[in-house]
Amino acid sequence: MNATSKNTTSKPRWSPLIILLLVALVAVLFSLLVMEKATDKVAVMVDGKVQEQRVYQWRMVTTWPKDFPGLGTTAQEFANMVESMSGGRLQIRVYGAGEIVPAMGVFDAVSDGSAEMGHGGSYYWRGKAPAAQFFTTIPFGMNAQEMNAWLHHGGGLELWREVYAPFNIIPFPGGNTGIQMAGWFNKEINNIEDLRGLKMRIPGLAGDVFNRAGGSSVNIPGGELYTSLQTGVIDAAEWVGPSNDQAFGFDQIARYYYYPGWQEPGSTLELLVNKPAFEALPADLQAIVTHAARAANQDMLDQYTARNPRALNDMVAKEGTELRRLPDDVIQRLYDISRELFEQQAEEDPLFRKVWDSYRTFLADVTDYHKITEHTYYDIREQVKADAAGSEGEE
């Protein structure tokens, strides 16, 4: 009897428990869903009232090692600025080269939307569009001040956007290194013949110029440069300038540090934004991206201008780096080759021609003006200092 009654009552006794468990499970899932939704919104004040607004979470892939001084840190500082300016409504996670995509995969990742943003240098994408090279720098081209003026007020940025439009990418200037150094060598360069057979990391149009001068150019991402130079995969390398080059330790493995950076006289870095992702943002977040990019663009230049002098002095004083100026006839030959090359490329590619025409017209105008302002001022500043030192000596 007992056994029978157990059998007949067991079913109804378990069912409420199962129902209770199911209800609990649904409640847990629902609360998880609510929590998930809650992290996608932040409370903001709009017209004196608290409103919940959507949080956008973006990824930024970069061509630099994560947090690499100047280059990588600028990408992170941009992301920090955007997050604080937007009250947390636009969050951008920055990835170093190789974390999601390799350094040279940044353009494609932003183009296909697998990352909403990228940070790199436009001359890396010359295989996509030869005209892209103008927006980083070209041999014997504009300095940082001139580049910023051309891009922001001389039609340069409009042209850059035209060049990237087929790739669904909106570019923003996102940093400037100032005039770079000509690079690290383990032999002296006394004439153009000394470049013959030299394998050097030197990207962009400068690499083509270097090839025509008898050398052999390669483009190696920053993160692989030290090992390449150390193991003799390359004989020489240009990277950025004293503070970055010291951080990589080039002074430990190369003897001669040549200047001036004829090949990169004011390199602009780029912040790339996937076009549909940008267009999906509300207008205020678009404005925040735009103005944070402008701030990051200027701040990188300020950092380099502040840090490079000490880094150079350190390397020369402590590490035995031998500073050398490229001979005038080597510079002249490189200039002549550059002009031939630009003309030739302009013949082959109408968009290259269009950008080159804008670039050189702007450069010609600003050069004439800078002859009587910047150029004269630098000269007289040195001259008065020398005269004052001379008259002190006479006393």
Q: What residue ranges bind Ca ion (CB under 5 A)?
A: 180, 238, 264
Q: Do 109 and 118 contact (CB within 8 A), yes or no?
A: yes
Query: 156 or 221, CB closer to Ca ion?
Result: 221
- Please calculate the CA angle 374-389-316 and round it to the nearest 5 degrees: 70
What is the signed CA dihedral for 369, 182, 272, 248, rounded to 10 degrees? Answer: -140
CB-closest chain residue to Ca ion = 264
| Positive or negative torsion for Cα 251, 256, 260, 266 | negative
Query: 167 or 257, CB closer to Ca ion?
Result: 257
How far is CA 87 from its chain centroid?
A: 25
Query: 181 or 271, CB closer to Ca ion?
Result: 181
Query: 325 or 371, CB closer to Ca ion?
Result: 325
CB of 180 to Ca ion, least distance (A): 5
CB of 239 to Ca ion, least distance (A): 6
Distance CA 317, CA 284 (A): 50
Q: Do 97 and 40 contact (CB within 8 A), yes or no?
A: no
The residue type at 98 = G
The residue type at 31 = S
CB of 240 to Ca ion, least distance (A): 5
Query: 156 or 266, CB closer to Ca ion?
Result: 266
Query: 146 or 264, CB closer to Ca ion?
Result: 264
Query: 180 or 303, CB closer to Ca ion?
Result: 180
CB of 124 to Ca ion, least distance (A): 11
What is the signed CA dihedral for 125, 262, 271, 106, rounded to 10 degrees? Answer: 30
CB of 254 to Ca ion, least distance (A): 15
CB of 204 to Ca ion, least distance (A): 8
Distance CA 306, CA 118 (A): 26
CB of 210 to Ca ion, least distance (A): 12
Residues contacting residue 72 through CB under 8 Å, at least 6 positions apart: 62, 64, 65, 66, 94, 96
